Structure 1
């Protein structure tokens, strides 16, 4: 009964507020824009130099020159602007981005994140994640709760090279919504049909479970 990637994005979209400037990482985070309420104004920023990203283009309408940081073709909304990477990272480092949504390979109970490299595997580069996690007012991670072998990705300590230290505030997985506090993970919501016991078993890091844990509402 775990969530699909689309459902993870749908749940995260509820955290996007009117007037927010939002940076979306590659993977699941790019889907969040599909579920943001129509009655609020949100500006999506991409660190390669776009402000005002729209939905993905329809097949046959792609423009190879209009892409996001993940090299995916995108559309832009009326009033969108393009600029160089220096300006883009000035926005990010100047804390003008209210919310960053990105994926992760591992998260620790202290709020550390590892999402840019697996030793021994080819990597294109660290991208903008290190600047984003160091600068954003609020960071939400979208990820699977366990790896393909069933081992937890919410750990006591990350085993992979870190992208940022003590910077993650909220994690939305296919099983649950969790906040990260000085006392570790706190279970806030569970996916429909998923039990608290399943979430506890899938979480290696320290996990606090309130007396009542509601199911997510979509």
Structure 2
């Protein structure tokens, strides 16, 4: 079965980000979305360490290690970009000024609950960081993740079993095989890779899924 690779997943998310949006891209896979945003659109990328107006990742020759995002990755700054205090950045995140946040996840429930900071493992990251502020403060939360874990378990679940980051906060889930809308009425399938049927997807996810209305 064909699966989307990381770049294809990022490009798919970028398609759904409208012009004029203020967007936070979470640490890890979500940061790659910046490389697929169309240059002709004004989209404002924010980082919780106090940046607004980031561009795509720099080339090897253009890396400036004094210009990094919250994940300590080198970034570029577009014309008109700005730097500001960490506290002001969290005020922006908590105050409803972020239109879309794109996050990774360990689990997302069909009702939009998010678990993305802790698996319960003894060596796991000890704190939630800014993920909770973003999950609750952003107007919309998109999640990027593989549908299945390495052991074959679905990460889209009826109920999260890992510690929660936020309740009913996720609007859309982008995976390597399908895109889902989630919320109070459960999960619906927006699109699937070409050679996958709905029955096969339901079996993979171990969920009773329906196609979204046209």
TM-score range, shorter chain: over 0.9
Residues 156 and 206, structure 1, Cα contact 8 Å, conserved in 2: no
Cα displacement string for residues 119-143 of structure 1 (whole angstroms, at most 9, x for unaligned residues): 1223163221100111111111000
Determine the structure 2 residue equivalent to 1:10.
Answer: 11
Q: Secondary structure at the match of 1:149?
A: coil
Q: Secondary structure at the match of 2:70?
A: coil
Alignment of 1:156-175 (within 5 A): 156-175=158-177
Q: Aligned match of 1:194 in 193, 196, 200?
A: 196
Q: Does 1:82 align with 2:83?
A: yes
Q: Distance in 2 between matches of 1:192 and 1:7?
A: 14
Determine the structure 2 residue equivalent to 1:111.
Answer: 112
Q: Report how far residue 51 of structure 1 moved.
A: 0.3
- How big is the alpha-carbon RMSD for the aligned residues of Structure 1 and Structure 2? 1.5
Q: Secondary structure at the match of 1:77?
A: strand
Residues 34 and 57, structure 2, Cα contact 8 Å, conserved in 1: no
Determine the structure 2 residue equivalent to 1:215.
Answer: none
Residues 2 and 194, structure 1, Cα contact 8 Å, conserved in 2: no
Determine the structure 1 residue equivalent to 2:93.
Answer: 92
Q: Distance in 2 between matches of 1:206 and 1:107?
A: 15
Determine the structure 2 residue equivalent to 1:54.
Answer: 55
Residues 19 and 41, structure 2, Cα contact 8 Å, conserved in 1: yes
Residues 113 and 168, structure 1, Cα contact 8 Å, conserved in 2: yes
Residues 6 and 28, structure 1, Cα contact 8 Å, conserved in 2: no
Alignment of 1:168-183 (within 5 A): 168-183=170-185
Instruction: In structure 1, list runs of 5 or more residues that go unmatched.
Output: 213-218
Q: Distance in 1 between matches of 2:9 and 2:58?
A: 22
Q: Does 1:72 align with 2:73?
A: yes
Instruction: In structure 2, list runs of 5 or more residues that go unmatched.
Output: none
